[in-house]
Structure formats: C-alpha cells, structure tokens
A and B are shown apart, each in its own frame.
Chain A
Amino acid sequence: TAGITQAPTSQILAAGRSMTLRCTQDMRHNAMYWYRQDLGLGLRLIHYSNTAGTTGKGEVPDGYSVSRANTDDFPLTLASAVPSQTSVYFCASSDSGLASGNEQFFGPGTRLTVL
C-alpha cells in the first residue's frame, strides 16, 4: 500500500509564480491536511478537509488555497509564491476529522524553495 504520495519531491520556484503541490492517498481516509514544517516553528497546519467537498483554514492559511473534489486528492495551490513560503510541505490524512485526535499518516513531503 502506497499510503500518501506527494509530488513533486522538491521544487525551486521564482517569486510571483504559481504552483500546485499534489497529494494523493489510497487509504480512503475521510480527512486530509496540509502542513508546513520550518526550523524553530515546527509543524503548522495550513488547510484541512474533514471530508470530500469541505475544506477549512488552519493556523497559516494566507497565500494558500486547497480543494477536495474527491476522497483521494487534496492539492495545495500557491497563487503567487513569496520567499517566506520556502518550507517543507507535508500532506497527511486520518480516518476521522480534525477534532477526532486520530492518528495522522504523513506523506514524504515536498521541499519548496521560493527565490
């Protein structure tokens, strides 16, 4: 079982350009999440989706958007990248929604550098 796949593995992006980070899970989990991980700041929730068709804002949503058209896919879009969005981005999923405290399964991450 693949679990969660993320693409690309890494990317260098010019400031002002747009980009979509892809995330796909094969566990049929209801909830999916996007985090960014930065040294000294830890994991911070960007956006989440408790079930297909719904999304919600996390701690640091500004500059990012998400959609959840189906159970398996949860893409994260940066409309106009800025250097402060340089980070490692992790997609995660869980069987139940954000408030359940259920185990979260993480993808391998996407390392994004915005110049």
Chain B
Amino acid sequence: TQLLEQSPQFLSIQEGENLTVYCNSSSVFSSLQWYRQEPGEGPVLLVTVVTGGEVKKLKRLTFQFGDARKDSSLHITAAQPGDTGLYLCAGAVRNRKLIWGLGTSLAVNP
C-alpha cells in the first residue's frame, strides 16, 4: 500500500508565526499537489510541483518538492487567520491514481 504521510496532523499558532507542513512517502511521484480545504467546502488546488528540487511561491506560501520526488514541504510565513484550513497533499504516481495524505489541520489565532 502506498502511503503519503503528512505532519503535523494538527497545528494551532498565533497570527504572525511561521510554520512548515511536511508530506513524506517512500514512493516516487511524477508530480505532487497541495490543496487547501476550508470548513464546509471541497479542497482547492494551491500548487502543483513536478521537478525534483522545485520551489514555488504563492504570496506567503512556499512549496518545495524533494530532490528525489518522494517528499514535499509547505512553509507559511507570517501566518494570518485567513490561512486557517485543512492542507492536503496528493501525489501522482505515473499511470496510477492520485494518492492523498490525511491532511494537516491549521488554526491561526488572531
């Protein structure tokens, strides 16, 4: 069974703090996606990383794909209450289905 482990599972921080969320697997992925899900809604894509070592920035969010394409991280600088939500990573294995992590639930307190 292919697994995609996310850590931490839960994170509660104060506004203005920095945080990093990790997504790890023993599998090699052809690409990896990060989604954010707000309460009562479906997940929405934030970014897709494809190349090993790739770094993508989305305002205060920085996404990195590991050199071996087995892991990824999401770093948020100066978190704001609007960043609150469930962050999901999903890895694409070539010619196979998308593998989903269980998610990191982030609460940013004002």
Contacts and interface: CB of A to CB of B under 8 A. Distances in A.
Question: What is the interface of chain B mostly: helix, strand, loop, or mixed?
Answer: loop
A74 interface: no
A109 B92 CA distance: 23
Contacts of B88: 42-43
A106 B42 contact: yes
**Chain A contact patch, size range:** 20 to 34
A43 B99 CA distance: 9
Nearest to B31: A101
Interface residues of B, number: 22
B13 interface: no
29 contacts: A42-B102, A43-B43, A43-B88, A44-B100, A45-B97, A45-B98, A58-B97, A90-B43, A92-B42, A99-B94, A99-B95, A99-B96, A99-B97, A100-B92, A101-B30, A101-B31, A101-B48, A103-B33, A103-B48, A104-B43, A104-B90, A104-B98, A105-B45, A106-B42, A106-B43, A107-B42, A108-B40, A109-B40, A109-B42
